[in-house]
Amino acid sequence: MKTERVTGGGSPKKKFDRNVPKKPAVPLKTDHPVMGIQSGKNFINTNAADVIMGVTKKPKPIYVDKRTGDKHDLEPSGLVPKYINKKDYGVTPEYICKRNEEIKKAQEDYDHYIQENLKKAAMKRLSDEEREAVLQGLKKNWEEVHKEFQSLSVCIDSIPKKIRKQRLEEEMKQLEHDIGIIEKHKIIYIANNA
C-alpha cells in the first residue's frame, strides 16, 4: 500500500486496494461448526468459591424522601457533611489573607498620606472627648428646638406662624443631619483659623 500526502489536518490518505479482503470469508454450506468440545472446569464450584472467598460488597448509601419509597443517592444530596472533613476546612484561604494584608497596607499608606497633608494644611484632629461634647451639645440643641416646635399652636393661620414653623423644621433637619455626620465619622478634622 502506498501513502499519499496529508490533506487538511487528518491522517495520511491510503490508496484503496480492491484485492485486500477486509472480513473473513463466509463459511460454505458444507462447513459445520466444531461440536462436542467440553471443558474440564467445574463452573459451579469455582463460582461458589469466588463468592465465598470474595469481599462483600457494601450497599450504596441512599435516603428515602417520601413515604412511597423514592430512593436517591446520599452522597450528592448534601446530607453528608463531607466538607468539614477536609483538612483545610475552616482555614482562611491564602488569597484572602493576602488581600487583607494589601488592604491593611493601603490603609496605612493612606493614613500616612493624610497625616502629611494635615501637617501641611495645619488641620487639627478633634479628640474623642471634644467630639462627644459636640455631639451632646447638638442633641441638646435639637431637643430645645423640638420642644419649641411642639409648643406651636395647632392652628397655623398667619404668615409669621408659618414662617416660624418652617424655620424650626429647617433647624431640626440641619441638627439631625449634623448629628448623623458626627455619629457616622469617628475621626473628625477641623481647619485652624489662621
Domain boundaries of the chain, sorted by first residue: 124-190
- What pLDDT does 16 receive? 77
The DSSP symbol for 66 reads S
- What pLDDT does 99 receive? 96
Distance CA 75, CA 83 (A): 12
- What pLDDT does 194 receive? 46
Residue 131: exposure state from Cβ atoms within 10 A (0-12, 13-18, ≥19): middle
- What pLDDT does 9 receive? 54
- What pLDDT does 2 receive? 52
Q: Which residue positions in the chain have pLDDT lower than 70? A: 1-11, 21, 121-123, 192-194
